[in-house]
Amino acid sequence: MTRLAEGSSVHFTILATPRSGSNMLCGLLNTHSDCVCHHELFNPKGVRLALHLRNPEPNLAGLPDRQAKPLAFMQAVMERWPGLHATGMKMTGIQDRHAFAHILATVTMRKILLKRCNTLRELVSHKIAEQLNQWEVYDGDMLVHHRPRVTVEVDELERRARVNQQHYQSIVKRLQADRQEYLEVSYERLLGNDRHTTIAGVLDFLELSPSDDLELVSVRQNPQPLNELLENYDQLRHRLSDTVYHWQLDE
């Protein structure tokens, strides 16, 4: 990987699909003293800055500016904290086509592709978040502890897996065509036994100093076994038994 000259700063974007752990990764990076990672600058419902910067910013462009000049808005946010070595943001799906195209075309902006291997878990998480209207939690006391049971059909699971695959494939195709460097990270590895190695790889990619003090500030919302979250668990187990998704029930 080409290293920046000393004193230069790194700009980066986390490209993810919904419920793949992007808030978790943003929160983790924000506990590094030399990094700020904004959440969804292009969320349809509002500008989601890094959690510790969400007090009103009088000199920061708001929704009208974002809608009128999305690229200028994004650049203004990314350049607002020049003293830090790494400044980034995340984009879930394609929330703004102009900004998304600009990000992919900007070779100086590093890309982290965050994936969740277990599409079934991702879909269950999405359905529960929709029902509760609770998408991010950073305080365990704020979590809705009674988790609703949801239903997942095989065809919608296959459709979500296909859409996710196409999304990531299109990104990789563009980045490889431009010979851009990118890093692929999985939700499961960020939480797994090799999480320290995975996090160290992310820090190295962003040219950030190694740190053992990074914290997971987001609350995992649905850690329960899937048989406690799926209304049609037994039926789904039977229907997925001979498919490539069978392992996702026994994660």
Domains of the chain are 10-250 (3.40.50)
Residues near 137 by beta carbon (within 8 Å), at least 6 away in sequence: 143, 218, 219, 221
Q: Out of 50-64, 83-97, 151-165, which region has the weakest mean confidence (pLDDT)? A: 50-64
Q: Which of 217, 207, 213, 211 is nearest to 86 (CA)?
A: 207
How do residues 7-48 score in pLDDT, each as one tens digit?
578 999 999 999 999 999 999 999 999 999 999 999 988 888
For 35, phi then psi, to 5°, come to -145, 145
pTM for the structure as a whole: 0.92
Give Dmax over CA atoms of the chain in angstroms. Answer: 58
How do residues 76-111 score in pLDDT, each as one tens digit?
888 888 889 999 999 999 999 999 999 999 999 999
Q: Which of 127, 152, 137 is nearest to 227 (CA)?
A: 152
The pair of three-digit structure tokens given for residue 181, joined into one six-digit string? 């460097």
Task: Enumerate the H helices of the chain as residue ranges.
Answer: 22-29, 63-68, 70-78, 97-105, 119-132, 154-177, 187-191, 195-205, 233-240
